[in-house]
Amino acid sequence: MRPLLAFSHLIDAINRRVGEWVSWLVLVVVVISAGNAIIRKFFHISSNAWLELQWYLFGASFLLAAGYTLLNNDHVRLDILMEKLPIRTQVKIEIFGVIFMLFPMVFLILLPSWPMFVASYDTLERSANSGGLLLWPAKLLIPVGFSLLFLAGVSHLIKCIGFLRGDCPDPRIKNSEAQAEEDYTEQVRLEAERRTEEAARLAALQHGERP
């Protein structure tokens, strides 16, 4: 199981790095959108290239961050019924969902997206809008984004199996929640130690001994 968990950590590192890089695209999109609006409003100048660029960057931030979203458990969950089940049962349902829902959906989009990108690249397909951009970079985002999502699914599946085997913590817990849980556990431990020391000191005083 250790080699699989090591592979999972590698996938997580890749998606984490991509997600952190892509998060800056949101700022770039905001700047470009604001710039386009200001120039169009005050200077009556518009450019299809800049408009399409902000569309491409928005698509990139959505597609490339899909795996990062799954890694951080920030995707939408319907846990109304699941949260009432035992944790191990919840994780087994999670495994079922990854194998029979996530993976088929990913392959349904991933497999035809690559030939679509290749055809666009071979013909140097360009936007039909005047002054528009090349289309193949935007179409490349689809197979790349869904490949990252597939890898994130593989990593999540490995960690779910590892949890059932007792080799790793519950992967469904968000990083912030896991840290909060660790902080609370540490706080309880320190409080228990303090009370134990205080009880020992009081017992020593009752017996007339120096604590």
pLDDT one digit per residue (tens) for the chain, 211 residues: 788 989 999 999 999 999 999 988 888 988 988 888 888 888 888 788 888 898 899 899 989 999 999 988 877 766 677 777 888 888 898 899 999 999 999 999 999 999 999 999 999 999 888 888 899 999 999 999 999 999 999 999 999 999 888 888 888 876 544 444 445 455 556 666 777 777 777 777 676 655 4
pLDDT at 191: 67
**How many other CB atoms are there within 10 angstroms of residue 140's CB atom?**
19
Residue 37 CB-density burial (10 A; 0-12 exposed, 13-18 middle, 19+ buried):
exposed
Q: Cα torsion at 75, 79, 83, 88 (round to 10°)? A: -60
Q: What is the pLDDT of residue 179?
A: 47
138, 59 Cβ separation under 8 angstroms:
yes
User: What pLDDT sits at residue 106?
Assistant: 95
DSSP annotation of 127 reads -
H or E element at residue 10 = helix 2-42
For residue 69, the SS3 value is helix
Cβ of 43: how many Cβ atoms within 10 Å?
8
**What pLDDT shows up at residue 189?**
60
- Beta-bridge mates of residue 134: 126
| Tokens representing residue 189 in the block | 């431990």
pLDDT number for residue 87: 86
- For the segment 176-208, what is each residue's pLDDT rounded down to a tens digit? 444 444 454 555 566 667 777 777 777 776 766
Residues 6+ apart with CB under 8 A from 90: 82, 83, 172
The pLDDT, as a whole number, for residue 178 is: 45
Give the tens place of pLDDT for each residue, 135-163.
Answer: 999 999 999 999 999 999 999 999 999 98
Residues contacting residue 28 through CB under 8 Å, at least 6 positions apart: 57
Distance CA(181)–CA(38), nearest Å, equals 47
In sequence order, the 6+-apart residues with CB closer than 8 A to the CB of 11 are 151, 152, 154, 155
